[in-house]
Amino acid sequence: MLLKEYRICMPLTVDEYKIGQLYMISKHSHEQSDRGEGVEVVQNEPFEDPNHGNGQFTEKRVYLNSKLPSWARAVVPKIFYVTEKAWNYYPYTITEYTCSFLPKFSIHIETKYEDNKGSNDSIFDSEAKDLEREVCFIDIACDEIPERYYKESEDPKHFKSEKTGRGQLREGWRDSHQPIMCSYKLVTVKFEVWGLQTRVEQFVHKVVRDILLIGHRQAFAWVDEWYDMTMDDVREYEKNMHEQTNIKVCNQHSSTVDDIESQAQTST
């Protein structure tokens, strides 16, 4: 098991990002889905928890075979998917990833949002007080992203919002910018297979870090698209994007998913 805490600051407030997060996830999923790979939304509905109150539950299938490194493709079926389940009680969320072909693999992410610059060192003490973890700051303006994902229009060093006047972030912006918020993410990766555990867990954390960096950059760079939306507006946008994304992804997989699941149960 490899545990890390990521802290990603944004030039937004927690209340503003409530809309931006939903918009970014829907648009990003749609952009990254094509030719049978990407994100299929299976379920998205209100959910009530006795401890956390009202929230939203989503279940997705993430098809990503071609994005795996060659050593990973060699040990998994040609077509497979990761199941994502998320419980959103904003400003607290829980996200879990599992794979039917890899029963000893899982990712567990707890997220909390606060209006500060990542200075709360005890935000997860109750969840992981006895576990050692590395704290990793992610800078949306200055950290490098994989070249294939770079777009100048989504670079916070160049982008400036017309609606908010925020942007063109420079080194050290976290120390002076107002408003500012932080996404705190406690990420646990497990792959309990001898000989591959360390390699796989480290690789997954690298992928998670890249996704967090890209997603938060996009959420800010798209701020003028979502800033005037209400919660009803963004839920309608989310619904439409899910429908369009499912069409892009599901046509190729709809006839094979049941076969995949029966094969997995047989092999298990």
Instruction: Pick the closest to residue 163 from 19, 7, 29 (CA basis).
Output: 19
The residues pairing with 45 across neighbouring beta strands, listed in sequence order, are 57
Q: Please state, in angstroms and rounded to a whole number, the distance separating the CA atoms of residues 161 and 83.
A: 35
The CA R_g of the chain, rounded to the nearest whole Å, is 19
Low-confidence ranges of the chain (pLDDT < 70): 34-37, 64-79, 127-130, 250-268
Angstrom distances, CA of residue 134 to CA of 21, 43, 78, 131, 140: 25, 33, 34, 10, 19
Task: Note the pLDDT of residue 70.
Answer: 63
Task: Note the pLDDT of residue 264.
Answer: 46
Terminal Cα distance for the chain, rounded: 22
Task: Note the pLDDT of residue 255.
Answer: 43
Task: Note the pLDDT of residue 64.
Answer: 67
Task: Note the pLDDT of residue 263.
Answer: 47
Helix, strand, coil percent values for the chain (each to nearest 5): 40, 30, 35
Please tell me the pTM assigned to this model. Answer: 0.87
Both tokens of 93, joined, read: 């969320």
pLDDT digits 0-9 by tens, 130-188: 678 899 999 999 999 989 889 999 999 999 999 999 999 999 999 999 999 999 999 99
Do the strands 105-114 and 181-191 form a parallel or antiparallel pair, or are they unpaired?
antiparallel
Q: Which domain holds residue 61?
A: 2-266
Task: Note the pLDDT of residue 195.
Answer: 84
Phi, psi for 36 (deg, rounded to 5): 85, 0
Angstrom distances, CA of residue 22 to CA of 127, 222, 223: 25, 12, 12
Strand ranges (E), 100-218: 105-114, 134-138, 181-191
Contact 8, 181 (CB under 8 A): no
Both tokens of 232, joined, read: 């009803």
Angstrom distances, CA of residue 159 to CA of 164, 167, 170: 12, 6, 11
Query: Structurally, how many domains does the chain consist of?
Result: 1
Strand ranges (E), 11-130: 38-49, 53-63, 81-89, 92-98, 105-114
Task: Note the pLDDT of residue 249.
Answer: 78
Task: Note the pLDDT of residue 256.
Answer: 45
Task: Note the pLDDT of residue 163.
Answer: 97
* Helix (H/G/I), strand (E/B), else coil: 167: strand
CATH code at position 218: 3.30.530.20
Find out whether the peptide bond into 91 is cis, omega within 30 degrees of 0.
yes
Task: Note the pLDDT of residue 267.
Answer: 45
